[in-house]
Amino acid sequence: MADGFVVCKVPTTPDDQSEGFDLGLREALERSGDPAPSLIAHGTTVATNAVLERRGALTALVTTEGFADLLVIGRQNRPSLYDLWADRPEPLVPRALAAGVGERVGPSGEVLTPLDEGGARDVVAALLDAGAESLAVCLLFSFANPAHERRIAALARDLSPTVRVSLSCDVSPEFREYERASTVALDAYVGPVVERYLDRIRTRSASLGAGVVVMRSGGATMTLEEAVREPVHTLLSGPAAGVRGAVLVAGAAGMDDLVTFDMGGTSTDVCLVEGGEPALAAESSIGGLPFRTPAVAVHTVGAGGGSLLWIDPAGALRAGPASAGAVPGPASYGRGGTEPTVTDAHVVLGHLQPDGLLAGRLPLDTYAARKAFDPLASALGAGVEEVAAAGIAAVEAQMAKAIRVVTVERGRDPRDLTLVAFGGAGPMHATAIAAGLEVSTVLVPLPAGVLSALGLLTAPQATDVALTRPMRDPDPADVAALLAGLSDRASELLARQGAERASVQYRIDCRYAGQAHEVPVAVAAAPDLSRVATDFAAAHRARYGWDAEGEPVELVTFRVRAAGPEPRLRLPDVLPGGGARPLPGTAGYLRADLGAGDRFAGPCLVWGDDATVVVDEGWDAEVDRHGSLILRARGGTTPPDTGVAT
């Protein structure tokens, strides 16, 4: 990259991801000439992968008597309305390890039935004897009175001092029993995995004398200790960092209304950004499992460069969600993979640099990639190139659908947005997807393959607290007092991490009386309740197209974020270009040879060390002052018809 940044990308080390962390850090330090960093900001997918690959701890659930089937019953929602093969995800907690205890707390926190401590001790002992490595505790209305949950935690630690215990009153003190139970089960499930991983990160970074902060799902950072204490906040750590990086680079180009498109090896994450602010969500999901913690509102699909291409029972070509992973990886990596992937399709079609090295270090085997497509080509009665093109079209259809979820389904026209494409694979699909959505502008950042790492440098430390306390016709003093208490708690948690509070944000989830779901509204520390009602009506109208003027508004969940100072990061300028020239004998450019102001037209390829850009016919490219590629449609482009069913 330009002066001021050192970019380094190393292969994933799936057996121990901390090895990849160490390799990348030391290589970057060697290139920079610096002896050691003062602070390391880290985004991780360890928790994400543990859930998606079902490699977390053996987890037990302790709940109120009569509610042990909570995770099995769920919400009775069908995962896909018209997909005959779609199954609901299995709960993380086996039914045999879910048990109820005698107790009952009412919705206002009143104790209706005292905790049966002897029975609770027996239940916990039985779960531990059955092999439970981690306990999730979720009692009815514990957000209003956490005393019983805390007592069960004490009993568990008496029985087994080393057992990990996650409490819903700490992890997600909000209403909606199933979602709260799912959140605390996720926290308990990934907790031991994340703790082991971060312990290795701590050991590897200690020799450098550097502190480490970890990206939260909500787009801020936290200390290692905080990440270990509540690992559920790392479930969207990587995607959140990518969105922050996209906002930085696009903002430097004067673009604030975006849809971010982050395509990696196993999945693709998309997010709506309006006015330079990423959409935030109080509830997200991973692998079909909901969790209620503040998070950047990314929508994820299981489609990436390593996604396997296959034929479904109806005879259509599909992509993912199964993946070749990092080991053995795509067939073209030459590491033993034999099944065709999206990356192999790009190799077959010549999109990756001929005789070049992927990420500057990995040779690609074109013969192996073509051979992997032979069974599909034979089954479909088509040529290898034709099937490869159809496979790419299949994965692009999935990604376009994901973008519609965060735009069209939220009342936003994607044609008014810029598509910011990054990740190792995103820029290879950007113009084709944009054309199908009639998006006229695509931005590909200079460090596209490592944009999440850049985003980490822009994130302040922050902490979020929330509490459900439904109020109809509330007293303004009660509202202000509740927000003040949450603010003090958030500031205390931030100070515990060694950060000085620089800002506080307040939100209240509101709804019309009788509604089942809420809309968040930004408020002041001592809010004017008539203003809250007006702002809620406007937010409701923006989301749903209508509001109920004059209807009473209920305040439901109160949220506070305390944040430290925002890091000030300025993108360096790149040198002026001398006129873009393709490599001899190709329709491709080296990204390292391009400078500010260079212009060229598609169809062509742009090869970089960390990502390749496919510029389709009908698109013009220009390099901005920071090295970003700005791609603009000349008009009317649509993806080609491959002739193969997708």
What pLDDT score does 522 carry?
94
The CATH code belonging to domain 462-563 is 3.30.1490
pTM here is 0.86
Task: Calculate the alpha carbon distances from 423 to 143, 234, 270, 443 in Å.
Answer: 39, 19, 11, 13
Q: Is the pLDDT of residue 247 over 60?
A: yes
Contact 442, 645 (CB under 8 A): no
First-to-last C-alpha distance (Å) of the chain: 38
Q: What is the pLDDT of residue 384?
A: 95
Q: Which residues make Cβ contacts (< 8 Å) with residue 594, sequence separation at least 6?
A: 577, 580, 606, 623, 627, 629
Assess whether the previous peptide bond of 321 is cis (omega < 30° from 0): yes
Confidence category of residue 9, pLDDT binned at 50, 70, 90 = confident
The Cα 602–Cα 237 span in angstroms is 35
Query: Is there a contact between 478 and 471 (Cβ–Cβ < 8 Å)?
Result: yes
Separation CA 141–CA 131 (nearest Å): 28
Helices (H) and strands (E) in the chain, counts: 16, 33
User: What pLDDT score does 355 carry?
Assistant: 57
Phi and psi at residue 542, in whole multiples of 5°? -65, -35
Task: Examine residue 603 and say whether the peptide bond preceding it is cis (omega within 30 degrees of 0).
Answer: yes
Q: Answer whether residue 641 shows pLDDT above 60.
A: no
Picking from 78-82, 141-145, 257-261, which range would have the lowest pLDDT averaged per residue? 78-82
Give Cβ neighbours of residue 50 (< 8 Å, ≥ 6 apart).
56, 189, 190, 193, 194
Q: How confident is the model at residue 323 (pLDDT cuts 50, 70, 90)?
A: confident
For the chain, domain boundaries: 1-35, 307-395, 462-563
Cα-Cα-Cα-Cα dihedral sign, residues 349, 352, 355, 358? negative
User: What are the distances in angstroms from CA 289 to CA 89, 132, 215, 344?
Assistant: 7, 20, 21, 31
Residue-wise pLDDT tens digits, 328-378: 889 988 888 899 999 999 999 998 865 555 554 567 888 999 999 999 999
Residue 642 pLDDT: 34
Average pLDDT over residues 600-609: 92
Percent of the chain residues topping a pLDDT of 90: 65
pLDDT in tens, 201-234: 998 888 777 788 999 999 999 999 999 999 999 9
Record the tokens describing residue 644, joined without a space. Answer: 């193969």
Q: Phi and psi (nearest 5°) for 21? A: -55, -45
pLDDT at 356: 56
pLDDT at 643 over 50: no
State whether residue 243 is helix, strand or coil.
helix
DSSP for 369-438, written as a single string: HHHHHHHHHHHHTS-HHHHHHHHHHHHHHHHHHHHHHHTGGGT--GGGSEEEEETTTGGGTHHHHHHHHT
**60-82 pLDDT, tens digit each:** 999 999 999 999 999 877 777 77
State the pLDDT at residue 361: 56
The predicted pLDDT at position 353 comes to: 65
Mean pLDDT along residues 125-131: 97
**What pLDDT score does 354 carry?**
55
pLDDT at 644: 37
Closest residue by Cα to residue 421 from 447, 397, 391: 447
Q: How far apart are CA 213 and CA 65, in angstroms?
A: 39
Q: What is the pLDDT of residues 30-49, one digit of tens each?
A: 887 776 777 889 998 889 88
